A and B are shown apart, each in its own frame.
Chain A
Amino acid sequence: MAPDTDDATDSEGETRAREVEVPLRLYKVVTVFSTMFAVAFVVGGFIVLDTATQRASLSLSELDLPLAVLGVGMIAAGAFVYAFSTRFRAEGMGKPKDDADEHSDNG
């Protein structure tokens, strides 16, 4: 992945997660749909995995291997979609770790 001008490095030159700034409306689209897909994939993956292993009751030799791989793959895909969507930010959204309006001293 090509390093981006956006915020590929922070002040110490340390590489950090890539962040892409998108319009607010598009940010909402990304959040809503990718969360939906992620949830659907993960839940569906578990259902498929359950079916393949008959709710984890089959021994290793009996299980439906392609279906089990599909299930694990779906869970991974859900996780990937979610993780991928976190790089998009709306303009004006702070980087969570950099937000320094919390001080650790008492007031």
Chain B
Amino acid sequence: MTDNEQTDNTGEAQADGGSDSAESGPRQDPRPDGGGTGIVPPDDETPTWSERKQRTQGLSRLTYEYFERARSEDQDLRQESSYVERDVLAFPTWPHEMIRNLSLTSFFVGMIIFLAATLPPHLGPPADPSSTPAVILPDWYLYWSFGLLKLGPLNPELAILGGEKLLADRTYGVMANVVIVGIIAIVPFLNKGSARRPVEQPFWAAFGMAGLAFAWTISALSIKNLVPIDAHLLFDLTFLLPVVVGTITYAVLKSMREGYMFDLNRRYYRLRPPK
């Protein structure tokens, strides 16, 4: 441990514990590292919350020291490990994340109820196999998949088969779904390391933005008879726009990177000083 961390630890010990040094009077309770079991059964003397908060004696002190020791041992181990330079850290899910999420989600549930009350769903005419409606649509979240079915023009006509297509257009569309899901699934196996922010990896951010743009354009393609753009133009845009969006994202992030990485590296340096 370097001096830097030592001060960090003591600072942390006092951060929410009140004055540690000021009240360290005669301490007759068992110290955790001075032999004995160090286990104090709860009894009449179980400290109140305010005493516990001060963490100066008794069970509270013991608990605190136990946690602190566990934490610092953990930190030492991580420091010594040479497995990765900046290993994975995480928020504890409980309590911070859960409490935060509960408060935020309760607001959103209110929003659901509000939407349900103000915008009730529509019930169309009953099913009639004999009359095909002008517009056939799935729910909006399946538009992308529906759009992939309309990729017929991309289906190669193979010269070997005498201009025949290897797969029917429909089959081609269904397979496109599998390809898309497959690409998304292998992302974590291609992109490793501990970079988190988009600026750190402009390529992957650009890839993501292109994918997002493609999701929108392919959805627009799926409802092409409702979109006031020429069908051929729309088809071309479906593939051009994602590339444009990806390129712009890449360019912007690349140019942001230099100034940003200085800050980030300084932060990483503080987090995990090199040995």
A interface residues, Cβ below 8 angstroms from B? 24, 106-107
Contacts and interface: CB of A to CB of B under 8 A. Distances in A.
B3 interface: no
Interface of B: 50, 263, 267, 270
Contacts, number: 4
| Interface residues of B, dominant DSSP | helix
Nearest to A101: B15
B50 A24 contact: yes
A28 B270 CA distance: 41
Contacts of B270: 107
Nearest to A24: B50
B50 A107 contact: no
A24 B267 CA distance: 39
B11 to A, nearest CB: 12
Contacts of A106: 263
4 contacts: A24-B50, A106-B263, A107-B267, A107-B270
A106 B264 CA distance: 10
A104 to B, nearest CB: 15
Nearest to A92: B18
Contacts of A24: 50
A102 to B, nearest CB: 14
A24 B49 CA distance: 12
Nearest to A107: B267
Nearest to B263: A106
B175 to A, nearest CB: 47
